[in-house]
Amino acid sequence: MKVLVVNCGSSSIKYQLYEMPEKRVISKGLVERIGEEGSALQHHYADEIRRLEGQIADHEEGMALILETLTGPDGVLETAEEIGAVGHRVVHGGEEFTGSVLITPEVIASIERFADLAPLHNPPNLTGIRAAMHELPDVPQVACFDTAFHATIPEVAYTYALPYQLYEKFGIRRYGFHGTSHRYVARRAAELLGIDKYALNCITIHLGNGSSMTAVRGGRSVDTSMGLTPLEGLVMGTRTGDFDPAILFYLADRGYDVTSLNKLCNKQSGLLGISGKSNDMRTLLQRSEQGDRRAKLAIDVFCYRIKKYIGMYMAVLGRVDAIVFTGGIGENASAVRANACSNLEGLGIALDAERNEQTVARREGAVSTPESPTAVLVIPTDEEAAIADDTYRIMRSNPCLTT
């Protein structure tokens, strides 16, 4: 079965076409700058890259262009009817969705309802769903939720110390994000260590422009750093992560309104805010080596927060079989891994400097010493493969959909 995986942003569509159950990537690509000048589709097939430039007005046009590229004279499909299902990444599923589901009108209504909790993500995700349904009206569509892996977090971990009525009335609680990535690397870590996936205790660390950590006990998420929204937790590219909320009241008394405070916390803070230069870790590492003090400070604060969460989650789990780094920064920035894990030998975490330095650029493996009681692993994430797997599984469990 061929499964198309779609991940829609506000002005982009990432896609990958899989042959299932082999999880073989047939082709993939990106439509970017939708509704803007300089719209383009970049399509990868085998060792070839095709770039098509031209005005793409909306996501429906973007989806139509993707299907045209997949089925055109040089395409990988004869017709779009070869696509057996479409899997969509959806960021927020609230408490309602504890796993991936077949998309129905009721599911769409629920995703709309949760848009208030993820205003930057759920609306674009919905746009992609509707565009795919318009272009492929007879093809089953599946929603895969970032929050679903964290549905197992216990009440003691997801409850905020606010009046309980706010949870009952508005659903204010910890939900967590990046769940598809955390689940994928936790499962892969179990395979690498030869441990049953439901016996593994690990700490997964997804580091990118958005960053989060998860405590996994017995293969299930029991705590995670992001909260009601993706703002809480680690220092990120432009997000604050944890900070004293009274700072907002202090700034409000000095003329900041809700819009400006939202922008401050989500768009102007994090690595960018501390360094004053960039939210890109590659740039900051280079500037730090050149003596830029604030670039170094931004990196050190970023890594210090990771180290604190490692300590907290070791206390939560008791036994930790592995610490897993993933995401663009986690997979490629050996200096960040070394900084975050420094001086943790007393907790049973010992990095091998040479292994750590060599494990970059989509390489997978252990970067800890053989004697380290807790393994430290680098595992490139593959959220698209996880979505394809969920979509295929749902299709196989509903035979009427595949006939």
Active site residues: 146
Find, among 313, 396, 343, the residue nearest to 85 by Cα.
396
Strand ranges across the sheet with 13-19: 48-53, 40-45, 24-32, 13-19, 2-8, 83-90, 141-145, 101-102
Of 98, 100, 113, 91, the C-alpha closest to 9 is 91
Sequence-distant (6+) residues with CB within 8 A of 243 are none
**What is the rounded end-to-end Cα distance, in angstroms, of the chain?**
12
The Cα–Cα gap between 194 and 204 comes to 17
Q: Would you say 346 and 361 are in contact if contact means Cβ atoms under 8 Å apart?
A: no
State CA 271 to chain mean position distance.
18
**What are φ and ψ of residue 197, in 5° steps?**
-60, -25
* Dmax (CA) of the chain: 64
